[in-house]
Amino acid sequence: MGGTIDKLIEMRLTAMADAFRIQLNDPKMKEVPFEDRFGMLTDIEYSSRKNNRLRRLIRNAEFDQPDASIMDIDYTSGRRLNKDFIKRLATCEYITEHRNLFITGATGSGKTYMACSFGMEACKQYYNTKYVRLPDLLIDLEMARNEGTYKKVMAKYANPVLLVIDEWLLLKPAANEQKDIFELLHKRRKKSSTIFCSQYRMEGWYEQLGGADGPLADAILDRIVHEHTKSISKALMLQKTFQCARYTD
């Protein structure tokens, strides 16, 4: 049977090969019907591949807090967290609906942990996920522009099904940085979801983007709330989106 095991390894069915070797060395397995034995081998290989895929997704996501878990969220009084709502978000329903999620609160309130928890849940459902701080994202794009790899780096952030942007608008972005933000959000709209973590409530984002003096402020906010009714006013659009999916300390 060594030839069979070698062929399995050559086909990269290593988990199945290891399990088959164990079966061959177990006398009790001779009494098990072939179909059942083959089913066991298939299940082991399948589980191994799924686990490897999950580990790869988590590693590539580059979470700031890779140990974050929905199960460990603190619901003690004073945090105003709706446990049922958190559980609903953990189903990743907002991802299938291409909705964005906004997490706002003061420094140290647990925004990053919460965002990474949702990101982990997305990985567990095998969604390609990416975490990044906005300052790092902007630096990454600026360096890529200088090195001639802008499209490649932009795709790194535009393509994930779920993108977690931490420290969103912590600092007011410069004009060229706003262009990068607009380009990224434009590429992601209507086909993916983004989690925005910010110290500022959504009502303050317009001013952080330069307000009336920021030529892209309206355009950026439009890309964030794109999936909602366009016939209502900007203020109501923001309110509707905010109520739909948000966590605020």
Per residue in 126-156, pLDDT (tens digit) is: 999 999 999 999 999 999 999 999 999 999 9
Instruction: Report the domain count for the chain.
Output: 2
Beta bridge partners of 246: 102
Residue that is last in its domain, among 15, 37, 60: 60
- Expressed as residue numbers, the domain containing 237 is 65-248
Q: Mean pLDDT, the chain, as a whole number?
A: 86
Does 85 lie in the same domain as 23? no
Residue that is last in its domain, among 60, 88, 104: 60
What pLDDT is recorded for position 74?
80
What pLDDT is recorded for position 1?
66
Give the residue ranges of the chain where pLDDT is below 70: 1, 77-79, 226-249
What pLDDT is recorded for position 158?
98
Does 128 lie in the same domain as 27? no
Does 147 lie in the same domain as 172? yes
What pLDDT is recorded for position 42?
93
Residue that is last in its domain, among 60, 79, 106: 60
What pLDDT is recorded for position 45?
93
What pLDDT is recorded for position 220?
93
